[in-house]
Structure 1
Amino acid sequence: MVVPTALPTEPIDLEQSIHRPRKRRNSEVAHFARENGATFESNASAATNGDHVTKQADATSQPQLNEVAEENTLDFDVDDSHSAFEDYLDQIEARPFEDDTTMDTNDIARLRARLREDGIEKFFDATVNSGMDARKLGIAFGIDPAVEVDDETYLRLLGLAVVRAFYKREKLSQYNTLEDAAALLQKSSKILVITGAGISTSLGIPDFRSKGTGFYDKIQQMGRDDIAEPQDVFDIEMFDLDPTLFYSLAGEILPDRSKGYTPTHGFIQLLDQMGKLQTNYTQNIDNLEGIAGINADKVIQCHGSFKTASCRKCKHKIDGAAIEADIRNKRVPKCKRCEKDLQAQKPQKSSKSKRPSADSDSDDDLPEPGVMKPDITFFGEQLPEDFFTRFTDIDAKDTDLVIVIGTSLKVAPVSEMPNYVPHHVPHVYISMEPIRHVEFDIQLLGKCDEVVAALCQKAGWTLKHDWVKPDEQFEITTSDGAPPFIWNVAKVDRQPTSSEQDRSLTKPAASPTEPEKMSETKTKTEHDEVLLSSKHNPVIDLT
C-alpha cells in the first residue's frame, strides 16, 4: 500500500463550512480522502483473510456505509462521495466498533498515541505501508472490519478517519471537577466563550431544535401548508420571494427587552468586567449581550442579530428597534429611504392631467421600496467575515480557556471551533445534555444559569443578578455509569429563615402522608451528602 503524497497540514478549514449542509461541504479532510484515497493499493488477501474478519459483527452494532450512502443518494464513484464518509464517521464516533479479542484498549491507545507523536504520514509508513492489515487498523478508529465495502473504499474511509482522529481534540486528564473548572476561571485571563440558544431560554425565548419546545418543532405543530421545512423560514431565497412567511413568525423569537438578560449573560459580562474575556462567540440572534453590557468589541454574533436591519434593495442599514413594532404585529417593514427616493422621483401631477381609468395597470409598473430584513444570517448567506478573521488570526491562538455554554455544537462552522483551538487549552462544557462528538475536559450539566452561579460561588466571585441569591446552595451529582468528568449541577431549594418559619406558623398546613415523609427524609439526606460545602467534593489543587 502506498500512503497518499498530499496530506493536509492544517485542521479543517472553518470558512469552507459556511452554512452549507454537511453533504455539500468541501472541507480539507474530505478533499484529502476524495483526492488521495484511490492512491492506496488494495491488499485483498490481507483484507479478507485476517482472523478478525471471520468474527462477524452484530448487524445492529454499527451503521453500514452503503446504507449511509443510499440515505444521502450518493454513489461512491461520484465526486460527492465524501459526504457519505463524513456521515458514516459521525455515526461511528457515537457507536464505535469494539472487538477486544482482536485489539484491546491498550493496543488502541498505543496506536492513537503514535499517530499524535509521529504525524499522519509517518503513522501510515509505520502501519499500513509496513504490512499491517488495514481492516485491523480500522478497529483502532472505530471502524467495523467487516463493513460491506470494497477494499479501496475501506482504505479511503480509513484515511479520512485517521486524519480526523489526528486533529480531534483529546481530553486533558488533569481537569475533571467543578472545583477544577472554578480554579481554571481564577487563573485564566483570555477566556473564549461560545454560546448558544440555551443561555436565553430562561427568558422564554425558544431555542431552535429542542423536541416539543424548539422553534422548528413549533412551526411543524402549526401544520402550515406554506412551510415545507421549518428551516424555510430562514431561507434567503424564500425571504426574497415572500417575506410575509418570515414576518408571520419572527415575533416568536424577538426578545422582550423589558425582561433584561439572564444570569449566564451576567456571567459573561462579569468575565468582561474582570478583564478575563477574550471573545464571546454567540450563535444567538437576540442581542442580549448588548443588553447585558458586554463590550461590543468582545462579541462576535456568528449568525447576526436583531440589533440592526438592512434594506434588501438599497442596503440601507438602520437600528433594529425601528422595525420591532412591525415584527411584533406581523407586518413586512419597508425601507423609508427607498420610499423617500421614490417619492422624489415621482413627476408632479398637473391639475389638468387625465385621471387614469379604473382598469389601468399602470400601478403595477411602479417601483416598490425595498423590504427591510433583520441582519440575521439566513441559510444561503455567508457568515460575517470578522468571524473567521478574528477567530483564526487571534482568538484560536491566544485563548487560555474555552467555555461552551448552551449549545449542542451541531451547526458548522461553530461546531468545529473547539477542535481548532490548540489541544493543550482546557475546555469546559455547560448545557443540559452531555456531548460526545467533541472531547471536553469537564462537562457540567444543568440549567445554564444555575451552573454559572455555582461556578462563580466556587471561584469566590459575586454574580450580581436579581435571580441569583448570595446564600444559594447547589448539589453536585454523577449519573450511573457516567465518566468522572461529567457532573449534574442543580440549585437546592433554600430552607426558610427563622422569620419566614414564624410567619408560616400562622397558616395551617396539611400533614404529609407517610410516603411523603419518607421522600422528604430521603431528599434531605441526599442533599446533605452532595452540598458544595460538604467534604464530598474536595477542592483539587491544579498547580
Structure 2
Amino acid sequence: MRVSSLLRFRSTSLQTSIAKQQQYVPQHKPAVQDDIKRLEDFLISKPNILVLSGAGISTESGIPDYRSEGVGLYARTNHKPIQHLEFVKSSSVRKRYWARNFVGWPNFSSTQPNATHHALARFEREMRVQAVVTQNVDRLHTKAGSRNIVELHGSGYVVKCLSCEYRIDRHEFQTILATLNPAFKDAPDMIRPDGDVEIPVDYIENFHIPECPECGGNLKPEIVFFGDCVPRPRLDKIAEMVYNSDGLLVLGSSLLVFSGYRMVLQMKDLKLPVAIVNIGDTRADHLADIKISAKCGDVIPKLFDFRKTNPL
C-alpha cells in the first residue's frame, strides 16, 4: 500500500472511530472561553473540590446514557433499565439480563477513557480535586488513572452472589458464561448498528447462568439497579467526603437520580458552592453557583492546561 493510500486509510479509520465515539453525545453548543476561565478560577480557589460524574462524560467514549434527547437509550431503542425486584424474583428476567450482558460485554469492557477522564486523573495528581464520586459503572475513571474513586452505583466489573459473600471478576465470569453457552458463538452479530443488543427469544430461553459455587444462590453484577438502595456505608463515606470538601463539581449528570442530587443538597446545607457542566438542564440548576451548558470534553481538558501556560 502506498504511503498516501495508507495515510488516507488511517485518516478514514480515525474519523470513523471518532464518529462512533460521538454518536451518543447530544447536540450542543461550543464551550465559551469565558465560561472555561470562570470555572478554572472557581477551582483554583477551592483545591479540595469533590467531583460527581455522570453518564454524560462516558457518552464521549461511546457508552450511551438513558435520557439524552435523540441519542439516549430511551430515545433510540425500546431498552429499559433493569429493575432490582424483577431481577431478584424472576428467572426469565435474569436470563434476559445476562444474555444481553454477555453479548455486550466485549464492547463495554474494551471502552477506553476520554480526555475528561484523563484530565480528572491529572487534577487528582496535581491535588486540584479531592476525589471522584461517579454514578457510572464503567470503570473509566480507574482506567484513566484516578485513584480516589467512589462508585456510587457499583461496578459492572464485579459479579456477586445475592445470598452470600461470593464475588468473581466479570472477565472470569464471561469465560464461564461462554463455556455454558456455546450457541452464543455468533454473539457479535447480535449487536445492532445503534449499539443495542437483539437476541432471538429461543437463545434467551436456553441461556445458562451458573449458580453461586458456594451457596447455590443467584449471581448479579455489583450494580445498584433501579429500585435498589445504595449501601449505607457507601453513603456515609460520601457524606464524610462532602463534609471535608470545599465544594462540588458536577460533570455530565442531569441529577434526576436522587443519589446524585442528594450530594448537591448536602453541599448547599453546608453552604458550599456547586458548579455544573452538563449539556442541557439539570435538576439542580437553581442551586448551582456556576452552570455551563456544554460538553464536558470541550471544557474540562482545557482547565489548567500545561501547554497553555508553558508554551514550547
TM-score by length of 1: 0.41
Distance across 1 between alignment mates of 2:282 and 2:133: 19
Given candidates 61, 82, 87, the residue that maps to 1:238 is 87
How well do the aligned residues superpose, as a CA RMSD in angstroms?
Answer: 3.1
Residues 324/456 of structure 1: CA separation in 2 closer, same or farther (3 Å cut): farther
Distance across 2 between alignment mates of 1:272 and 1:188: 13
CA contact (8 A) 1:184 1:401 kept: no
Q: What letter corresponds to residue 291 of structure 2 in structure 1?
A: Q
CA contact (8 A) 2:242 2:266 kept: yes
Residues 293/454 of structure 1: CA separation in 2 closer, same or farther (3 Å cut): closer
Residues 461/318 of structure 1: CA separation in 2 closer, same or farther (3 Å cut): farther
* Matched position secondary structure for 1:270: helix
Q: What letter corresponds to residue 289 of structure 1 in structure 2?
A: H
Residues 304/254 of structure 1: CA separation in 2 closer, same or farther (3 Å cut): farther
CA contact (8 A) 1:195 1:407 kept: yes
Distance across 1 between alignment mates of 2:35 and 2:72: 31
* Matched position secondary structure for 2:272: coil
Q: Residue 447 of structure 1: CA displacement?
A: 1.9
Given candidates 243, 263, 268, the residue that maps to 1:417 is 263
Given candidates 259, 280, 289, the residue that maps to 1:441 is 289
Distance across 2 between alignment mates of 1:253 and 1:447: 26
Q: What letter corresponds to residue 264 of structure 1 in structure 2?
A: T
* Matched position secondary structure for 2:171: helix
Long gaps (5+) in structure 1: 1-175, 223-229, 342-368, 463-469, 472-543
Distance across 1 between alignment mates of 2:258 and 2:77: 23
- Deviation per CA, 1:387-408: give whole Å up to 9, x if none: 321122x222221131100000
- Deviation per CA, 1:160-193: give whole Å up to 9, x if none: xxxxxxxxxxxxxxxx943221122233221100
- Identity value in percent: 25
State the partner residue of 1:486: none
Alignment of 1:38-187 (within 5 A): 177-187=35-45
State the partner residue of 2:113: 261
Alignment of 1:144-543 (within 5 A): 177-220=35-78, 230-231=80-81, 233-242=82-91, 243-250=94-101, 251-252=103-104, 256-295=108-147, 298-325=148-175, 326=177, 329=187, 332-335=208-211, 337-338=213-214, 369-392=216-239, 394-422=240-268, 424-435=271-282, 437-438=284-285, 439-457=287-305
* Matched position secondary structure for 2:236: helix
Q: Residue 459 of structure 1: CA displacement?
A: 10
CA contact (8 A) 1:205 1:255 kept: no
Q: What letter corresponds to residue 429 of structure 1 in structure 2?
A: I
CA contact (8 A) 2:253 2:282 kept: no
Distance across 1 between alignment mates of 2:158 and 2:150: 14
CA contact (8 A) 2:274 2:288 kept: yes
Distance across 2 between alignment mates of 1:461 and 1:390: 36
Equivalent pairs counted in the alignment come to 248
Distance across 1 between alignment mates of 2:107 and 2:134: 15
Larger radius of gyration: 1
CA contact (8 A) 2:247 2:267 kept: no
CA contact (8 A) 1:190 1:399 kept: yes
* Matched position secondary structure for 2:258: coil
Q: What letter corresponds to residue 158 of structure 2 in structure 1?
A: T
Runs of 4+ in 1 over 6 A off after TM superposition: none
- Deviation per CA, 1:456-505: give whole Å up to 9, x if none: 3399579xxxxxxx99xxxxxxxxxxxxxxxxxxxxxxxxxxxxxxxxxx
Q: Residue 219 of structure 1: CA displacement?
A: 4.4
Q: Which has the higher contact order (CA 8 A, sep 6+)?
A: 2
CA contact (8 A) 1:182 1:458 kept: no
State the partner residue of 1:105: none
Residues 183/427 of structure 1: CA separation in 2 closer, same or farther (3 Å cut): same
Alignment of 1:20-35 (within 5 A): none
Residues 388/312 of structure 1: CA separation in 2 closer, same or farther (3 Å cut): closer
Distance across 2 between alignment mates of 1:283 and 1:332: 30
Distance across 1 between alignment mates of 2:151 and 2:233: 9
